[in-house]
Amino acid sequence: MTYDPQNVFARILRGELPCRKLDEDQHSLAFEDIHPLTPTHALVIPKGPYESLLDFADQASDAELASLVRLLAKVARDKQVDRTGFRVIANTGSDGGQDVPHLHFHVLGGRRVGPMVKRPSDG
Ligand code: 5GP
């Protein structure tokens, strides 16, 4: 699939849209989700044009891969959810519920995040 350079996170990375930046390094950016679902709700994204975890795994350099994982951990510590616990989610594709076609990891915490997924019988 072709990466869409007009997606909202690409526009944030180019400085065309604002974000509440938390941290960054050469390869990755962390910022606050615009509609937080939990007291801590950060997004961590690679700066490169990767639509999904699949593209990232196939094409990213070792430095990009390491940067993203380290920034996830740093955000969790900086937000002080490292002791209480947190959840990292990367929604992928349509069944995964991915709305923005630029790889992003949600970091959710600051309260009990709840069950991992709903059962179909829960509606
Ligand atoms: P997805 O459903 O793709 O896993 O998650 C996309 C996330 O991006 C949502 O949690 C949504 O609130 C967030 N989001 C969408 N547009 C913007 C934006 O312009 N700025 C920020 N900071 N977050 C956004």
Cα–Cα distances in angstroms (integers) from residue 89 to residues 17, 79, 98, 123, in the given order? 23, 16, 10, 21
Q: What is the CATH number of domain 8-106?
A: 3.30.428.10
pLDDT, tens digit (0-9, with 9 covering 90-100), for 12-22 = 999 999 999 99
Helix and strand numbers (H, E) in the chain are 4, 5
- Label residue 21 exposed, middle or buried (CB < 10 Å: 0-12, 13-18, 19+): exposed
CA distance 49 to 121: 38
Cβ of 99 less than 6 Å from ligand 1: yes
The stretch 109-120 carries a mean pLDDT of: 94
104 is catalytic: yes
pLDDT, tens digit (0-9, with 9 covering 90-100), for 53-111 = 999 999 999 999 999 999 999 999 999 999 999 999 999 999 999 999 999 999 999 99
Nearest CA to ligand 1 atom 24: 34
| Residue 11 DSSP symbol | H
pLDDT, tens digit (0-9, with 9 covering 90-100), for 26-39 = 999 999 999 999 99
- 96 contacts 89 by C-beta, under 8 angstroms: no
Which pLDDT belongs to residue 1? 64
Nearest ligand 1 atom to alpha carbon 104: 4
Give backbone dihedrals phi and psi of 43, rounded to 5 degrees, phi first. Answer: -120, 135
**Mutation test residue for ligand 1: of 16, 34, 95, the one with most atoms within 8 Å of CB:** 34
Which pLDDT belongs to residue 3? 97
The one-letter code for the residue type at 68 is: L
